[in-house]
Amino acid sequence: MKLIIIILICFFFFNNSPYQDTNSKLEGKWKLTNEIECPDFIIFNPNNTYLIFNDCGSIDPKYPIVEKGVWRYENKNSSIIFSDREFISPNSIFSNNHGYDSTLWFYLKNITDEKMELCYINKENDFMYDHYVKVK
């Protein structure tokens, strides 16, 4: 019940990102700013595939991909969904923080051409935010 209430709060009170241009704003490379030493990077490709990489969490430093899959944006609830998740590196920072389910939901609290804020619920059912900046 607590999980449902938190999701509804996120949806109703933090839903301020317009659908128009959201896909094009998402496309590109984003760097997590919450983590200074080993930040995750997410690449949203135009063909709706994504890559997550992190030099600290990968098996091969020359190929630092830790996860890949398919992404989509849903306007009705301002959510970004990662599906068909393939875990390249076991125990990566991203997967440890967000879990290993085959589908992962984020609520897009805010997005501009340069910044993005994602809401999610962690393993302890706490409401969390990830802050990203776009990498040119």
Taking only the tens place, the pLDDT of each residue in 6-53 is 554 555 444 544 444 888 899 999 999 987 788 999 999 999 999 999
Q: Please count the structural domains in the chain.
A: 1
Q: Which residue has the tokens 């589908």?
A: 103
User: Mean of the pLDDT values across residues 52-60?
Assistant: 79
Q: Of 108, 106, 113, which Cα lies nearest the Cα of 25?
A: 113
- The token duo for 72 is 């989509």
> Hey, what are 98's tokens?
């967000």
Q: Please state, in angstroms and rounded to a whole number, the distance separating the CA atoms of residues 16 and 22.
A: 11
Q: Which two tokens stand for residue 74?
A: 């849903």
The percent of residues above 90 in pLDDT, for the chain, comes to 51
Q: What is the mean pLDDT of residues 92-102?
A: 88
Q: The CATH number of the domain where 31 resides is what?
A: 2.40.128.280
The tokens for 108 are 């897009």
Cross-strand bridge partners of residue 80:
73, 106
As a whole number of angstroms, the distance between CA 96 and CA 32 comes to 15
Domain of 7? 2-135
Q: What three-state secondary structure class fits 58?
A: coil
Residues 133/29, Cβ–Cβ less than 8 Å: no
